Structure formats: C-alpha cells, structure tokens
Amino acid sequence: MITRRNFTAGAATLLAAGHISTRARAATTSWDMSTVWPDGNFHTQNAMAFAEEVKKQTGGSVAITVKAGGQLGFKGPEHLRAVRDGLVPLADVLNIQQVGDEPFMGVESIPFLCGSVDELKVLHKYVRPEYEKIAARNNQKILYIVPWPTQYLHLKAKVADVEGLKNIKIRVPDKNAVDMLNAIGMAAVMIPWGETIPALASGAVAGVSTSSVSGVDGKFWEFLKYVYPTNHVWSSQMLTVNLDSWKALSADQQKLVADIAAKMEPGFWANSLKADVDSLNRLKEGGMEVVPVSDAMMMEIRSKTAPQLDAFLKRVPAADKPVRAYLAEMKRG
C-alpha cells in the first residue's frame, strides 16, 4: 500500500534524481560543426580528430559532432554569418568566400602573393591578428586556421599558352579569382563548392580553379582531362565558434579547447601538404594529365594579374599595412 509518507519519500527521490540529471545535462555541451567538405577531405578529417581530442580531454563534457558535406544546409559563403547569428555553434569557414561581409578575408587570394606554404606562414604572422579581430566583431572566436594546398587550373582542354585559355568558362570560389582569371582572358564564374559538380556535369563550366584535394573530392577525372600547376593563390579554412556558445563553457573548458586547437594546428598544416601530394597522384590515377606550365606562360599570367595587388590594397585599406610588412620581410617590398 502506498502511504503518504512513502509517496512523499518517493517523490523526493525522483525530484533529487531530476536535479542530478539536470545538472549532468547542464555540464555537457553538445555542438554541431558545419562544413561543406565531405568526410574524406583532410579538413573534415582534421575537424574529426579535433572533436575526438576535445571529447577525450574534457571527459566528454564538450562534444562536437562534425556535420560534413553541407548536411546542415549552409553553403560556404554563408558560414561566417551562420556562426555570427548563432544558427550553428561551429563552422569550418573558408576565408576567401567571406569577402562580401569582410573584404579583408580575401587577402590570401591576391594573385601570387605567396609562392609556398612557408611564405604563407609569414603572411599569417601579419594577417592572423586581423582575422582574429574580424572574427570577434562577427561574434565568434577562431580556434584554428589551416590552409588549402597550392592551387591548380583543372581543365577539359589542353593549352600551351595564355591565348589557349581565352574564353574558357571556369568555376572559381571567390571574387578575387573572378578578377584574376578574367584578366588572363578566361570566363570566370563564381560558384559555391556544392554547385560545382552539377555545373561540370551539365557543361556549364569547362574548368575549375581549386586544389588537387577538391579535384579528388569532385572526381574531376569524370569531367576534365588536364591539371595545370599554376600555384596562383592560397586560401585557408578557419574553425570558428560562436562567442555566446564559447562563453557558456567554463574557464577550464575554454582553456582545454583552446590549448588543444593550438597544439593540433601545426599537424593540420602538415596534413595539408600531404593531402596535396596524395590527391595529385589520385588525379593522375584517375586519368588526368599534369601539364607543366612554361616559364613564358607563367610570366604572362603574372604580368596580366600583377595590378590586382595594388587594386586590392586600394579597395581594402586595412590590408595595406600587414601586406606591405609581409612583402618587406620577403624582400619584395
């Protein structure tokens, strides 16, 4: 028989259990992370490794679920706004695609500003503080930044000079790349990654300006035949977290997560270099031919795109000081 005393005791036990459950739930933070890149992409693999390490070191109190391949419905150019507005707590943000909101983010896509990953590291010494300020005013914090490897022109046609590139319709990821490839006579079209493969399949474009890694992601050998190592621009992915979500963590959790990101970032850069080598080999295995770009062709491409440096600095005055400091260190100032 249930007495009043038994009922009261039972209710108290259930209530206490409820409080414990509530506290347990409150102590666990679950974040979804948005990325447009597929599971096999090295950026996504980096993010998964980061999430696993965060889970391990926080004892599961901070749980990050990587939503790859655009599962959450956000396109690359929307990620800065999505994190800013709290539509998603974490996102892998491609810097050069955010220039509509933050023009400075296009600095790495100034043609031939950097010629190697080592030069890019020097550039980041000067521009990363500006990236951090941009993130902060967009209600987010950068956890780590990892570059894409060198860029290529992936084309259906085989060409020997700049004249051969004329009027080829090519997909590019950002406005600076539109200006660059239009300057050498191509017909550049800005298309987000999620719409690139349909554009290739339909014949809407006959080439893509991107990394070898993305070439493998898109199985370019099904649509294109030639790869040109032009190394014309760089870009980076930034894993950012919404500041309101970040501030909901305890100070200890924040330190752990930030320390993990800082510790893992150099390894993620190394993964980028390896991914380029592996992906270029995979493109060749798929039947694509890597076509050396002649010195004369590269000189003409560089000459035709050289005005974009001053044009960018004029359009984005905040970039003038860090870029010129970088050029001075490279003895190109």
pLDDT in tens, 122-167: 999 999 999 999 999 999 999 999 999 989 999 999 999 999 999 9
pLDDT band of residue 5 (cuts 50, 70, 90) is very low
Domain boundaries, the chain: 29-330
* Structural tokens at position 150: 């060198």
pLDDT above 60 (res 25): no
Q: Note the pLDDT of residue 18.
A: 40
Mean per-residue pLDDT, 7-29: 44
Q: Note the pLDDT of residue 174.
A: 87
46, 118, 135, 215 from 270: Cα distances, Å: 11, 11, 24, 19
29-330: CATH number: 3.40.190.170
The total number of residues written for the chain in this structure: 333
Q: Specify whether the CB–CB gap between 332 and 136 falls below 8 A.
A: no
User: Is the pTM here over 0.95, yes or no?
Assistant: no
Question: CB-side exposure of 38: number of CA atoms within 13 Å?
Answer: 10
* Structural tokens at position 4: 């009043």
- Measured between alpha carbons, how far is 134 from 114 in angstroms, rounded to an integer? 22
